[in-house]
Structure 1
Amino acid sequence: MAIMRCIRLEPSQSMTVDEFKAWLRTYDDNHDGRISQEELKEALHALRIWFGSWRTKKAMESVDSNHSGTIDSAAEMEKLVKFAQKNLHMKIYES
């Protein structure tokens, strides 16, 4: 898993939903099973996505349905996948 974090992903790179989730979990620094806004921001900055901080804020507003400040459910993770496909132009497909 730690190796995957070192690999530089491009937003245009194709990956499965499971690969996207596994890659995102590498940014779960405190290993609590949730992705915080700060962890998501770090992941987007690693992709070198323009306006990463702003897009992180928009993603959390769109995805965090219980307003906990984290992406902490399967439903929210699915929303994040859809957000990444639509707003970040990432090519994420079902396996």
Structure 2
Amino acid sequence: MAIKTRSISSDGKREMTLQEFKTWVKRLDADKDGKISRQELSDAVRVAGGRFAWLKCRRGVQAADSDGNGFIDEQEMNNLVDFAQKHLGVKIVHF
């Protein structure tokens, strides 16, 4: 599932609003349980052309998963936003 973006910034990052990012992440929820698993995130990063998707996603889930249950839920979404901006080539813009 490709990441739809407004544009690519001068530093090569995909620009999107916070709402666009959250909408994209929610579409990754293949089993519709309201949580994003490492596998769901890995599949999306791999389809988007990301290298080392399994490693990035393992680190992403670890970084975002504040309650340690192995999933990213709505309350942990901001943690995932921070990780994505640092490690997945995403830039959150505010309009």
Q: TM class by shorter-chain length?
A: 0.7 to 0.9
Mapped to 2, the partners of 1:41 and 1:77 lie a distance apart of: 16
Contact 1:8 1:46 in 2 (8 A): no
Structure 1: stretches of 5+ with no match in the other structure: none
Contact 2:14 2:89 in 1 (8 A): no
Mapped to 2, the partners of 1:63 and 1:8 lie a distance apart of: 19
**1:28 alignment partner, SS class:** coil
Cα displacement string for residues 44-92 of structure 1 (whole angstroms, at most 9, x for unaligned residues) = 1121111111000111111111111100132x11010010001122112
Mapped to 2, the partners of 1:46 and 1:89 lie a distance apart of: 14
C-alpha RMSD over aligned residues: 1.9
**1:18 alignment partner, SS class:** helix
Find the counterpart in structure 2 of residue 84 from structure 1. Answer: 84
1:32 and 2:6 matched = no
Relative to the length of structure 1, the TM-score reads 0.81
- Relative contact order higher in (CA < 8 Å, ≥ 6 apart): 1
Deviation at 1:9, TM superposition (A): 4.2
Q: Which amino acid aligns with 2:48?
A: L
Q: Which amino acid aligns with 1:78?
A: N
Relative to the length of structure 2, the TM-score reads 0.81
Contact 1:27 1:40 in 2 (8 A): yes
Cα displacement string for residues 22-57 of structure 1 (whole angstroms, at most 9, x for unaligned residues) = 111111011111111111111111211111110001
- How many matched pairs? 89
Find the counterpart in structure 1 of residue 72 from structure 2. Answer: 71
CA pair 13-89 structure 1, distance change in 2 beyond 3 A: closer
Structure 2: stretches of 5+ with no match in the other structure: 6-11
